[in-house]
Amino acid sequence: MTLSTNEIFDQICDIMQPFNQKSVDIKQETTFATDLELDSLSVMDMLAAIEDHFDVTVPLNILPDLETVGQVAEAIKNILDE
Amino acid sequence: MTLDLFEKFDATLDSFNQLPQGDLNPFTVKMDEVLSPTEAIINGRKTILAGTNNYMGMTYNEECMEAAENALRNFGTGTTGSRVLNGTYYGHKHLEETLKDFYDADHAIVFSTGYQANLGVIATLAGPKDYVVIDADSHASIYDGCAMGNATVVRFTHNDPENLEKRLARIRKKDPEAGILVVIEGVYSMLGDQAPIKELAEASKKHNASVLVDEAHSIGVFGKTGRGVAQEQGVEHLVDFIVGTFSKSVGTVGGYCVSNHPKFEVLRLVCRPYVFTASLPPSVVASATKALELIKDSNLRVKLLENSMRLNKGLADAGFEMGTTGESPIAAIIIDTQERAIAYWQRMMQEGVYVNLAVPPATPNGLNLMRCSLSAAHSFEQIDYMLEKFIAVGKELGVLG
């Protein structure tokens, strides 16, 4: 079964809840650094949780391009479709 | 209006400018005279050096200095050339032979710095279709080696074999034929913790990945003959590449990689950080060679770890929140804020003790540390003096209750 980007986004939002200490309402354009105020360590832990949930590898090489939750959902979609 | 190329550094510059300028700035401190491996004159004051990674005190070893002097007289101040052109002298080959003997390895290549050794080996070994899998707390030289190469880079949780295995399994499922290089460090420099090499290497071998261990902070310090943590843990047979530096225990500068891989020597032709840089000066190469010979048969590591345990235990007993345990030559206390850490560092300098102010991103977990690296050359009197000052400043700044 292939997941849609929206389904992936919803699942990512669930995974992110423990990291969302400021209880920000997460949208596609929510950014990790500015909106969620996550430090690089928390971002890494969160990405590890996302990798494990979807059973995918998110290479370090693409991280600089991922600033928003929507972009991560899109990247996971692309990796799953490969 | 042309965009100023330096504008991107404004935030860095702003925070730097908030630090006190002049003598008590931790990033511009200058040693006017160096008296020994453990003492220097800074700001006109005799200061104990408690953070130089000079683990064996080799910088002033008489035999090393004599070897360096002889090489300087006989071969000059520098090679003015790359290893593959005019920059390979008798001394460079002799140093590589000494390394092969030291590690009981088939091949050894010397680089001009430890940083370049990691940069060169990682970027060259892992090509476009390969993977590099690194510990999340890796040194900047490992991250930069990844950035320079074309491989896919994957991180695993610090010192977590299960997390590594999961990532390797995922890579293998997708890419059964890919080359994989797993990179770990023997000792992590900030908190002095050792990698569980056996478990990490076994997970790697299970998925047919090669293992590189960076022993920068462990050569000389661990293992029966000072080879590092892989030797200490009895797992050298599981390691494919060992990288290290001459800039800590060996007391000079330079880097190396040793391996038993039958095709290893081809790196001399394809590894750009090896090819396109000047080779080490003859005096440096001579003192490194002598230091390796001395380290092999030395019992200095016993004294070094005694020194470290003395400081670590003293700090822990005084009630500091510790980042280290004393099992490596590192002693670090955790300070709650960066401002207080900077103040701490300045007060220690005024009291005649030079320690390392270690703050993110150089530290793991966002920690602010007062970090010491002990030397076998420290006397117990010097360590007790450091301890006394740590406690006095800790009370003064409210770090100790």
Measure A25 CA to nearest chain B CA, in Å: 26
The tokens describing B328, both together, are 């490596």
B304-346 pLDDT tens trace: 999 999 999 999 999 999 999 998 999 999 999 999 999 999 9
Residues of B in contact with A41 (CB under 8 A): 364-366
Q: CA–CA separation, B120 vs B82, rounded Å?
A: 14
Strand partners, B152: B131
Mutate to test the interface with B, among A38, A54, A57 (most CBs of B within 10 A): A57
Measure A71 CA to nearest chain B CA, in Å: 19
pLDDT per residue, tens digit, chain B (401 aa), is 788 999 999 988 998 888 877 778 888 899 999 999 999 999 999 999 999 999 999 999 999 999 999 999 999 999 999 999 999 999 999 999 999 999 999 999 999 999 999 999 999 999 999 999 999 999 999 999 999 999 999 999 999 999 999 999 999 999 999 999 999 999 999 999 999 999 999 999 999 999 999 999 999 999 999 999 999 999 999 999 999 999 999 999 999 999 999 999 999 999 999 999 999 999 999 999 999 999 999 989 999 999 999 999 999 999 999 999 998 999 999 999 999 999 999 999 999 999 999 998 888 888 999 999 999 999 999 999 999 999 999 999 999 98
Measure A2 CA to nearest chain B CA, in Å: 17
Task: Indicate the Cα dihedral angle B33, B36, B42, B44, nearest 10°.
Answer: -70
The tokens describing B20, both together, are 């006190």
Asked if B167 reaches chain A (Cβ–Cβ under 8 Å), the answer is yes
Q: CA–CA separation, B109 vs B111, rounded Å?
A: 7
Interface of A with B (CB under 8 A): 39-41, 44, 48, 51-52, 55-57, 59-61
Asked if residue B148 lies in contact with residue B118, where contact means CB atoms within 8 angstroms, the answer is no
Helices B140-148 and B114-125: angle between axes, nearest 10 degrees: 40
In angstroms, the Cα distances linking A6 to A20, A72, B217, B228, B286 are 19, 11, 47, 50, 63
B253: left (phi over 0), alpha (psi -120 to 50) or beta: beta
Helix (H, G, I), strand (E, B) or coil at B20: coil
Tell if the CB–CB gap between B170 and A48 is shorter than 8 Å.
Answer: no
Report the amino acid identity of residue B247.
S
Q: CA–CA separation, B308 vs B326, rounded Å?
A: 5
Model confidence at A40: pLDDT above 80: no
Asked if residue B100 lies in contact with residue B77, where contact means CB atoms within 8 angstroms, the answer is no
Q: CA–CA separation, B226 vs B241, rounded Å?
A: 16
Portion 348-367 of B in contact with A at CB < 8 A? 360-361, 364-366
Backbone torsions φ then ψ of B382, nearest 5 degrees: -65, -40
Residue in chain B nearest A58 by alpha carbon: B154
Tell if the CB–CB gap between A57 and B174 is shorter than 8 Å.
Answer: yes
* The pairing of beta strand B131-135 with beta strand B368-373: unpaired
